[in-house]
Structure 1
Amino acid sequence: MRADATRNVEAVLRAAARVFSTDPLARISDVAAAAGVDKRTVYRRFDSREELLLAVYRARLDRLAALVEATLDDRPVRDALLAFAEGGIRLSREWPVDIRTVTDPEVRRRREELDVRMDDFLRRAEQAGVLSRGLPDGWSLRVLQTQLHTVAQEMPSLPPAVAARLVVQTFLHGVGV
């Protein structure tokens, strides 16, 4: 694909993520306008609105997979958690579509694979004494995902680094005194 075509596809995907997050029934012409391209440019790459939306979900998953790979590594758990939180907030703000309810089998499978990797990391956090042991399966992951989604979407004025520190602090210690 030519460099300008690649830039156009990226612009369309990013615009579609923003447009569909605010208006799930938006048309391709709305996405094209937000991306600054003609709707024929969008239709050359995507046959339908549904195909475009699926491409947005896949692009978000690609970035989430890269984030998991880059942050949930062998560094100390708190450092990895903070890096993941900051990256997750940035990702959610740049790609604001919610992949948790997507029914496409491939998207669902990939999301579940990433959830398993994140659950593995959170078990490591339990073993390191950073998280409580004995919580129901999936509890820590759902709490973390909910906090990240909430701060990313409902508190956009908080800079990602500040928001990440607040999320990690709350995740590890709660909001009580």
Structure 2
Amino acid sequence: MRADAARNLAVVLRTGARLLAEDPRTSLAAIATAADVDRTTLHRHFATRKALLSAVFQAKLDSSEEVLDAARLTTAPVAVALHRYVEGIIPVSREWPVDTRHMMQQDPAASVRRDQLSARVDAFVQRAVDEGHLRNDIPLPWARAVLDQLVDTGAHRFPEIDAAQAADLVVDIFLNGLGNH
């Protein structure tokens, strides 16, 4: 792929992710205009909104998988792995703001992949419980929901905070709570 074509594709994907997160009914024409490419360029890569959305989901999943691999969730100390994960996943969430839960209806293959990546985070949270970093009387889905909400808060409610600072806050709150011990 030529460099300019690759650049156009990247711009279309990121613009599509942003606009589709804001309004899932956004037209391909609106995405092409916002990405500053002509409609034929966009249609050359994506014949339908569903095809573009599928490519956006795959790009987000690719980025998420890289973060999970780099975090070393199964081998690094829990606090270190958690920090790596959060510091990496916040930029992914900001860059690809589409909600991957919508993949369930849109793209079954991507949905399976999302579930596999999610299972890796679930296993990590279980590891944190098993090693005594989290209370064992809290249901695992509850702990996971808290982690996801903290990440979402760092990524989207406070975009002015850089990922490393947000990760510091998320790790401290997730492992230690908000109480004054």
Structures share fold, TM-score greater than 0.5: yes
> In the alignment, which residue of structure 2 is the partner of 1:120?
123
> In the alignment, which residue of structure 1 is the partner of 2:78?
77
Structure 1 counterpart SS, 2:159? coil
Q: 1:118 & 1:131 partners in 2: Cα distance?
A: 14
1:2-151 matches, cutoff 5 A? 2-71=2-71, 72-103=73-104, 104-151=107-154
Following superposition, the deviation at residue 42 of structure 1 comes to 0.6
Q: 1:101 & 1:47 partners in 2: Cα distance?
A: 20
Q: CA RMSD in A?
A: 1.5
Following superposition, the deviation at residue 160 of structure 1 comes to 1.3
Following superposition, the deviation at residue 102 of structure 1 comes to 2.3
Structure 2 counterpart SS, 1:51? helix
Structure 1 counterpart SS, 2:75? coil
Q: 1:13 & 1:70 partners in 2: Cα distance?
A: 23
Select 1:156's aligned residue among 146, 154, 159: 159
Residue identity in the other structure for 1:89: I
Q: 1:161 & 1:15 partners in 2: Cα distance?
A: 25
For structure 1, the residue ranges without an aligned partner over 5 or more in a row are none
Alpha-carbon displacement from aligned partner over 1:7-60 (angstroms, at most 9, x marks no partner)? 221111111111111222211122112222111111001011121111111110
Following superposition, the deviation at residue 73 of structure 1 comes to 4.6
Alpha-carbon displacement from aligned partner over 1:56-90 (angstroms, at most 9, x marks no partner)? 11110111111111112522110110111111111
Residue identity in the other structure for 1:28: L
Structure 1 counterpart SS, 2:25? coil
Structure 1 counterpart SS, 2:140? coil
Residue identity in the other structure for 1:13: L
Alignment size in residue pairs? 177
Pick which of 1-10 and 149-158 moved more: 1-10
For structure 2, the residue ranges without an aligned partner over 5 or more in a row are none
Q: 2:110 & 2:141 partners in 1: Cα distance?
A: 19
